[in-house]
Structure 1
Amino acid sequence: MSRKPWDLAFTAEPEEVGALRRLMRLHLGAWGLHDVTDVAQLCVSELVSNVITHVGPGTPVRLMVSMNSAHLRIEVHDPDTRALPTLMEAGSDSEGGRGMALVDAVADRWGVLLRPDRKVTWCELETGLATPNGHVGGVRVTRAEALLSLYAAARLPRQVTSGTLSAALAEEAAIYVITDLLHWLRAHGCDAEEVLDRAQTHFEVQIAEGRGLPC
């Protein structure tokens, strides 16, 4: 899976925070990083809110999201090199000072870089990936991709131009795999619908186990 860096320039306003959270969920969903989406949304909210609070509404800001090895890296760029984020211990009745404390609590690491024309507040989140473009899901997903690659090469030879499948081609290959398996089951006198139901049950159990949920 290719996870190319992306960035967005915007104006720091309170009403932008919700849109940024939705955008993060959309992009991380496309990257297959569902397990870190909630934490990433929290970090984006707090980093941008920190700019709004300490630099000011209307500040031109740039959000940059990328992979740094197996970590998800989130950067917020703003032009004020004097207002530096500070990790404060906010009291239970305090209305402020919690932003960077929350980021510190959920991120693997965070920091601030000073450039001649801006500062960059960043944080990195553990994804569980082995490589930046690796799969979430371990050996099951690796096996499936090998099978899909074979099917795509056989059924879609004109569309497969490299060793890496696009999401669209992989989905189309998956449909061919499932369809052929249903034909095989029918030819051998098996109940295809029952097999599909059992496969769906196995899938749901494995998902629940992966998330630490009761089966």
Structure 2
Amino acid sequence: MRDPEIEFALLAVPKAVPELRRTLSEWHPHGPHPDVQLCVSELLSNVIRHLGEGTPVTVRLTRAPGRIRVAVTDPDPRAWPLLRSAGSDDETGRGLALLDAVSLRWGVEQGPDSKTVWCELGEG
């Protein structure tokens, strides 16, 4: 059985997104989990977009019976993500709406020198 938790410390750069997606597809017991891959991609992309390339992050996935928790921690406790409605002509602004649509729940936890954006998905 694969480890129920996996954690990566990395720099948030565009090439890390597809590399992490590939690694995670090997971790999930049933192969690629598209919603997990989508959430990791969106959360990591948000760090790149809002805090800048090269920001150090920790990505943690935890499997529990019937659930997978995805958590991305970055070093800026002030830059909180906001769920917004993107217009049909907007080129950005849909990431958290996608995360909200596919996850069971999501949120933000603030630490003294960091924040963690997390979501929980069904195991399926």
TM-score, with length taken from structure 2: 0.93
Q: Deviations over 1:130-149 (max 9, x none)?
A: xxxxxxxxxxxxxxxxxxxx
Structure having the larger proportion of residues in helix = 1
Distance in structure 2 (CA, Å) of the matches to 1:77 and 1:86: 16
Which of 77, 93, 112 pairs up with 1:116?
A: 112
State how far apart, in whole Å, the 1-side matches of 2:113 and 2:80 are: 14
Q: CA separation of 1:99/1:68 partners in 2, compared to 1, >3 Å: closer, same or farther?
A: same
**Unmatched segments (≥5 aa) in structure 2:** none
| Structure 1 residue aligned with 2:48 | 52
**Is it true that 1:98 corresponds to 2:94 in the alignment?**
yes
> What SS does the corresponding residue of 2:72 show, helix, strand or coil?
strand
Give secondary structure in 2 for the equivalent of 1:49.
helix
CA distance in 2, matches of 1:24, 1:103: 17
Q: Which residue of 1 aligns with 2:6?
A: 6
Q: Is 1:85 the equivalent of 2:84? A: no
Point out the structure with max Rg over C-alpha: 1
1:67 to 63, 74, 90: 63
Map Cα deviations across residues 23-82 of structure 1 (whole Å, 9 max, x no partner): 111111xx23x4x71111111100000111111111000110102442100100100011
List gaps (5 residues or longer) in structure 1.
129-215
Correspondence 1:89-168 to 2 at 5 A: 89-128=85-124
Runs of 4+ aligned structure 1 residues displaced above 6 Å come to none
**Percent of aligned positions that are identical:** 48
CA distance in 2, matches of 1:10, 1:115: 19
Q: Which amino acid in structure 1 is aligned with residue 21 of structure 2?
A: R
Instruction: Give the alignment's Cα RMSD to 1 decimal.
Output: 1.4
Letter in 1 for 2:76: D
| Counterpart position of 1:37 | 33
Partners of 2:76 and 2:113 in 1: how far apart?
Answer: 8
Higher strand share: 2
Matched residue count: 124
Distance 1:68 1:95 in 2: 35
Higher relative contact order (CA 8 A, sep 6+): 2
